[in-house]
Amino acid sequence: MTSNIRTKQLLIVGAVALLIAFLFTRDIKGLVKPKQETTGTPAAGQLTANTAAQNINLQEVSAAGKNVINASLAAEITTLENTYKSTSGADQIKAAQLLAQKWDDVEQTVPSALYLEIVASKEKTLNNWLNAGGRLMKAFDTTQDSIMQPALLQKANTAYTNAMAIDSNSAEAKTGLGITIVNGMGMPMKGIAMLLDVVKKDPKNLKAQMSLGTFAIKSGQFDKAIVRFTDIIAQKPSPDAYFYLATAYENLGKNKEAVEAYLKSKKLAANPTLSKFIDKRVAELSK
């Protein structure tokens, strides 16, 4: 019996990892990373001074990014980089913004995030720090480099901390900061308390609601997760919300509800890989 439960739990963790890999919607960032994916990332509250001090070499990540995009785009980025290096002041900030966008367009999140961090460090506005924090968390969520993950998380935490220093009432800054804390920048409950405070003031804050829902799944609080994702779907149906809802139902043995939610996730996502996985889960749950 215990073995079956363990197998099911591992299956669910794998399902969540698959969803993050294929369906992670960019307007909802910072979802909890499954345990299988965070082997090299310190557990929540355990980010050490050494890992926090790790630096990321922009030149190296740029070179690596160019190796996986077509030659014409790589050449275009190189031209922009040369412009960035040869200018200063407002012109350099503009070049950094263009580079951040170009890298994001080709789904190279790390160099994109680093350029937005540069923009924020040169022009310290609330919006710039929020943009940097969001892109750094996007990089943290999508990178497969377990050594780079702690540095990206540290940078995101710093960006959101700077944003909070400018506007302590910013829901976006508090949400982002709470997510970084839960993911490894401090005591998890402190981060969750920040997210709960955001939701208390604004129940329609989807980013905070989504984060609390995924944290509930990770901690095995499936009833709470169902409430969160049901509320999210009522506001804005999405494939990831339906998938997590199905995951919570399945863990509670509510197979009929799980199948319905999985199928809705499949329909909205229209992703062949995810569809294949969901078809297998539905077949298993329908037996």
Name, in order, each residue with C-beta under 8 angstroms of 259's C-beta and a sequence gap of 6 or more: 246, 282, 285, 286
Stated length of the chain: 287
User: 85 pLDDT exceeds 50?
Assistant: yes
Which residues have C-beta within 8 Å of that of residue 140, sequence separation ≥ 6?
30, 149, 152, 153, 156, 183
Supply the pLDDT for residue 105. Answer: 95
Give the residue among 9, 30, 2 at the shortest CA–CA distance from 183. 30
CATH 1.10.260.40, applies to 1-25+203-287: no
What pTM was estimated for this model as a whole?
Answer: 0.78
Show Cβ contacts of residue 199 under 8 Å, excluding neighbours closer than 6 positions: 205, 208, 209, 212
Region of poorest pLDDT, from 7-21, 62-76, 109-123, 162-176: 7-21
> Where do we find the tokens 């540069």?
118
Structure token pair of residue 216: 């509930």
Q: What percent of the chain has pLDDT over 70?
A: 81
Q: How far apart are CA 16 and CA 34, in angstroms?
A: 7
- Pair 231, 209: CB distance under 8 Å: yes
For residue 186, the model assigns a pLDDT of 72
Classify domain 47-187 at the CATH superfamily level.
Tetratricopeptide repeat domain (1.25.40.10)
pLDDT at residue 166 tops 70: yes
pLDDT at 239 over 80: yes
For helices 109-122 and 89-105, give the axis angle rounded to 10 degrees. Answer: 160
Mean pLDDT taken over the chain: 85
pLDDT of residue 54: 58
Give me the pLDDT at residue 19, please: 56
Q: State phi, psi for 170 to the nearest 5 degrees.
A: -70, 115
Give dist(CA 209, CA 199) in Å, integer. Answer: 7
Q: Where in the chain is the domain with CATH 1.25.40.10?
A: 1-25+203-287, 47-187
CA distance 20 to 34: 9
pLDDT above 60 (res 50)? no
Q: Which amino acid is at 13?
A: V
CB 216 within 8 A of CB 222: yes
For range 37-66, the mean pLDDT = 63
Distance CA 272, CA 270 (A): 6
State residue 184's pLDDT score: 83
Q: Quick check: 200 pLDDT over 60?
A: yes
Q: According to the model, what pLDDT value does residue 32 have?
A: 33
24, pLDDT greater than 70: no
125-137 average pLDDT score: 98
Question: Between the CA atoms of 18, 20, 25 and 28, what dihedral angle is there, to the nearest 10 degrees?
Answer: 150
> Which sign does the torsion angle of CA 33, 36, 41, 44 carry?
positive
SS3 content of the chain, % helix, strand, coil (to 5): 75, 0, 25
Q: Which residues have C-beta within 8 Å of that of residue 9, sequence separation ≥ 6?
A: 251
Q: How confident is the model at residue 187 (pLDDT cuts 50, 70, 90)?
A: confident
Mean pLDDT of 80-104: 97
Mean pLDDT of the 14-41 span: 39
Percent of the chain's residues with pLDDT above 90: 74
